[in-house]
Structures are given as C-alpha cells and as structure tokens.
C-alpha cells in the first residue's frame, strides 16, 4: 500500500520500513519535552514550529516585526499558556527553559542567530540556506563543533524517500557512470525601480536590516521578497537552489566542483531587485562530472505562466546507461527497471530519515548528527554561493575546496564575495 501511494518501488519501501522498525525510539514523556523558541515568525517559521511543537513546548517567540510576533504567540498558545514575546533574540538565548531554537529569520540573519545559539548551548533547526556567505559557513561549523550543539539545516528534501532513492541509485551506478546532473529552478522576480515609504508601525527596520547596509525602507526589500536582494539573500540560486543543489551534491558525492561559470539571461532592473532572475550556471568536477543549473518560469512558484515539460522543477541525473528524474511530485527513469530492480544488500546506503523535524529532535535526544548537520549544510550552501558568485562576476572561476577560496584568474574579484562586511553594531561581537 505504501509503495502504491508513494510511487516508490516495493523493494525500496520494504527496506525502508524494516529500517524504521529497527530504529524506533521511545516517544518523549510529558516531562522530557524540550522548550522551543521561534526566532523569525513569518510563514516559514510558523510552519516549522508547528512541526516542532509535536516534539516540545513553544515557550517563546521573537521577531523584529511586532505583528508577526503577536501572530505567532497566538498560534502557539496552548491551554492558556502564551509564549513570551521578544524583539531581541539575544534575550531568548538567555532563558534556561529554552533548549531548541527554530531559526527562520531572513538569510542575512541566519549566521548571527545560529552563532548566538551555539554560544548559548541551544540546539538549532536552522532554515536554509545555512548562511549568506561561504566565510560565515566556516565560522559556524567551528562554533557548532566547539559547543557540541545539534544543528539541523532545513533542507528537508534529504528526508524524502524519493530523493534518497534517486541519490542511492546514482551512487551505486544504476545509470552507469554519472555524466551530468541537471537542475531546474524557478525563475526569480525581475521588477523595479521601487519607491521608499514610511516604516510600518511595529517594525524595527534598523534591527531587521541588522548586519546588512543601512537603507531607506522599501516594502519589496522586506519579508517574503527579501530573497531577491543580494544584501539579504541569493535569489532563486539559494532559495530553491538550496534544495535541489543539495540533492545533486548528495548524489554526486564529491566535496565541491573545481570550475564554475554562468550565463545571465535576464539582468536586474536598475533600482529594483538586485538578484538575477534568469540564468544558467555550469559546474565541472575534477573527475569530469558536470552539474548544470537552469531557470524556468513556473506558475506555481513566483507567478509566471510557463511550466517545464509538465513538471514543477527538479533534477535529472544522466549517466552512460540511462537517466533518472526526481522532484517533489515523483521519480521516473529512462527505463522503469532502473527503479524497480532492487539494489544488492551490500550497496551504498545513505543516511535514512523519514521526517526532517523528527530526525532533528531524535538527535537532540541522542546527541548524534542529524541528516543535514552543520558541515553538510555548509558544503551544500557553498554550492549555491559558488553559482551566485559566478553569476555576479560573469567570469569562469576556479574553486579550491580544501582552502575554501577561489584561485587562478579572477580569484581576487570572486573572493571578494566569499565574505561580507557586517554593519556595526550587528557584527560578530553582537552575539559574543
């Protein structure tokens, strides 16, 4: 029945159910439920925390927008117990009854909140992308490893059976030698110029900007559309790209590509969104494997009207013996037997998780590494950042994964994007 409903092959479902049965843990008792605090109370944050509330008690919410914070407090009020509302996340981190942080702030705040949580010894479920820059990722890896906290990156496709099946089949040579992975992402927004306006009541605009440069309030910079400004995010490359590029990274199984270059199809409008809405990015690995990123308009994402081959967006793995296509709607292959034929018992098996949030809380209890721990989240986000840097520079770049820097021609220009200057007082000392 599970196989029929999910569309997954029976052999894969049987192994998955057997592994789940063997790995069952006892549910939390009422006295062992951790205290949860939500930092960043927009739609994604409330969604994450709704899932987290199955495993703990929401005791605090925090947002620089008072309206968002109040909505979250009302949503997570249980039996008259109202979560405490905060406007400064550092006050949340001081509470002894807060054990878990759900970090759903805009991307430019991810690192400082996660660093603060690590220093306060709070476990973190951090929204993707893990960081705004590559340098921030390396700093965060060090802080998490030093503190011993559990950090789960919110790339939840890793906990989807169909994505893991695709990656295991690729890793085990089911399509022969992998030649190229192709990723389709939705096109971003391209609009502007935008007018400034008065800051809405209840929004601390200076704190919202935080480490980003000071600028007058423009409503298109804030809340949902923040992701189309390089000051706060990386466009669709780090939005949907954080999901699909992560799966490509998982399947390829190599630390990072060697070379990356891009083609810009639609440039930004002067005075408008600063991220590129339509582009192509091409990566090349030292072993000859290629990874290509394409943008396509999709009416279920950002309002455009065209779909790709009836699919929303996704990943196609092409090998010498066939191809596999996978996205959130399903999985298919050039030959159905590529999916239905069982892998041998001694095949490479990847980390198994059936539920991303549940995996996180299981690891909070066991202190084991979650499926997308801090190093994995950092390396996965690096894939996205490399693409964004290639788009921004317009140059063919060479990346040295061990040193985590660009080398060769154009290295100086590209390395300028590996880190960013943080605006005082919202720099690293803000959470020290």
Q: Please provide residue 265's backbone torsions phi and psi, each rounded to the nearest 5 degrees.
A: -95, -35
Residues 342 and 309 in one domain: yes
Count of beta carbons in the 10 Å neighbourhood of residue 300: 10
| Residue 79 belongs to some domain of the structure | yes
Residues 200 and 144 in one domain: no
Q: Which residue has the higher pLDDT, 70 or 23?
A: 70
Give per-residue pLDDT as tens, 330-348: 999 999 999 999 999 999 9
Residues 102 and 117 in one domain: yes
| Residue 368 belongs to some domain of the structure | no
Residues 257 and 380 in one domain: yes
Residues 318 and 407 in one domain: yes
Residues 137 and 172 in one domain: no
Cα–Cα separations (whole angstroms), residue 237 to 175, 187, 354, 381, 419: 27, 9, 26, 10, 17
Q: Is the pLDDT of residue 307 over 60?
A: no
| Residue 8 belongs to some domain of the structure | no
What does the alpha-carbon distance between residue 225 and residue 214 come to, in Å, rounded to a whole number? 18
Q: Which of 99, 132, 157 is the last residue of a domain?
A: 157
Residues 181 and 92 in one domain: no
Residues 195 and 332 in one domain: yes
What does the alpha-carbon distance between residue 253 and residue 343 come to, in Å, rounded to a whole number? 18
Q: Is the pLDDT of residue 256 over 50?
A: yes
- Is residue 424 classed as helix, strand or coil in its secondary structure? coil
Contact 291, 250 (CB under 8 A): no
- Entry pTM: 0.92
| Residue 188 belongs to some domain of the structure | yes
Sequence-distant (≥ 6) Cβ neighbours of residue 153 within 8 angstroms? 126, 128, 130, 372, 373, 374, 376, 377, 380, 381
State the CATH number of the domain containing residue 342: 3.30.360.10
Give per-residue pLDDT as tens, 37-68: 999 999 999 999 999 999 999 999 999 999 99
Q: Is the pLDDT of residue 260 over 50?
A: yes
Q: What is the pLDDT of residue 2?
A: 61
Q: What is the pLDDT of residue 22?
A: 54
pLDDT band at 414 (very low <50, low <70, confident <90, very high): very high
Residues 68 and 170 in one domain: no
Q: Which of 97, 125, 157 is the last residue of a domain?
A: 157
Residues 142 and 178 in one domain: no
Residues 309 and 291 in one domain: yes
Contact 158, 371 (CB under 8 A): yes
pLDDT band at 8 (very low <50, low <70, confident <90, very high): confident
Q: Is the pLDDT of residue 314 over 60?
A: yes
The mean pLDDT value of the chain amounts to 93
Q: Whole domain around residue 224: which residue ranges?
A: 160-350+376-431
Q: What is the pLDDT of residue 300?
A: 42
| Residue 226 belongs to some domain of the structure | yes
What does the alpha-carbon distance between residue 25 and residue 201 come to, in Å, rounded to a whole number? 47
Residues 332 and 419 in one domain: yes
Sequence-distant (≥ 6) Cβ neighbours of residue 83 within 8 angstroms? 37, 38, 58, 59, 60, 61, 72, 73, 76, 77
- Is residue 172 classed as helix, strand or coil in its secondary structure? coil
Q: Which of 157, 190, 222 is the last residue of a domain?
A: 157
- Is residue 67 classed as helix, strand or coil in its secondary structure? helix
The average pLDDT across 181-201 equals 95
Q: What is the pLDDT of residue 3?
A: 64
Number of domains forming the structure of the chain: 2
Q: Is the pLDDT of residue 372 over 60?
A: yes
The average pLDDT across 211-216 equals 98
Q: What is the pLDDT of residue 308?
A: 45
Q: What is the pLDDT of residue 425?
A: 98
Contact 299, 306 (CB under 8 A): yes
Tokens 């390829």 sit on residue: 252
C-alpha dihedral (325, 330, 336, 342), degrees to nearest 10: 100
Sequence-distant (≥ 6) Cβ neighbours of residue 21 within 8 angstroms? none
């Amino acid at each position: 029945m599970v196989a029929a409903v999910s569309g997954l092959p029976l052999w894969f479902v049987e192994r998955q159910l057997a592994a789940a049965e063997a790995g069952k843990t006892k549910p939390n008792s009422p006295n062992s439920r951790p205290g949860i605090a939500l930092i960043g109370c927009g739609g994604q944050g409330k969604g994450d925390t709704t899932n987290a509330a199955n495993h703990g008690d929401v005791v605090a919410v925090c947002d620089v927008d008072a309206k968002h914070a109040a909505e979250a407090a009302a949503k997570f009020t249980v039996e008259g117990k109202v979560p405490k509302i905060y406007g400064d996340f550092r006050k949340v981190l001081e509470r002894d009854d807060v054990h878990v942080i759900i970090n759903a702030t805009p991307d430019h705040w991810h690192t400082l909140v996660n660093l603060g949580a690590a220093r306060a010894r709070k476990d973190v479920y951090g929204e993707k992308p893990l960081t705004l820059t590559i340098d921030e990722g390396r700093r965060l890896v060090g802080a998490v490893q030093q503190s011993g906290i559990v950090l789960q990156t919110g790339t939840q496709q890793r906990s989807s059976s169909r994505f893991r099946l695709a990656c295991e089949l690729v890793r085990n040579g089911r399509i022969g030698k992998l030649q190229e992975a192709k990723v389709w992402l939705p096109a971003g927004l391209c609009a502007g110029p935008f007018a400034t306006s008065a800051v809405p009541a209840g929004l601390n605009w200076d704190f919202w900007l935080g480490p980003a440069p000071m600028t007058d309030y423009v409503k298109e910079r804030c809340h949902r559309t923040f992701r189309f400004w390089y000051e706060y995010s990386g466009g669709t490359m780090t939005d949907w790209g954080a999901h699909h590029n992560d799966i490509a990274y998982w399947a390829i199984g190599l630390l990072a590509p060697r070379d990356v270059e891009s083609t810009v199809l639609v440039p930004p409008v002067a005075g408008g969104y600063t991220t590129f809405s339509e582009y192509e990015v091409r990566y090349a690995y030292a072993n000859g494997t290629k990874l290509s990123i394409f943008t396509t308009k999709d009416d279920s994402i950002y309002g455009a009207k065209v779909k790709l081959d009836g699919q929303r967006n996704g990943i196609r793995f092409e090998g010498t013996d066939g191809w596999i296509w996978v996205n959130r709607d399903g999985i298919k292959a050039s030959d159905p037997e590529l999916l239905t034929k069982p892998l041998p018992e001694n095949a490479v098996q990847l980390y198994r998780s059936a539920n991303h949030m549940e995996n996180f809380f299981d690891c909070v209890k066991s202190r084991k590494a979650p499926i997308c721990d801090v190093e994995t989240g950092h390396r996965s986000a690096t894939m996205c950042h490399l693409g964004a840097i290639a788009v921004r520079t317009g140059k063919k770049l060479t990346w040295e994964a061990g040193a985590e820097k660009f080398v060769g021609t154009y290295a100086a220009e590209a390395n300028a994007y590996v880190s960013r200057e943080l605006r005082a007082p919202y720099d690293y000392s803000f959470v020290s």
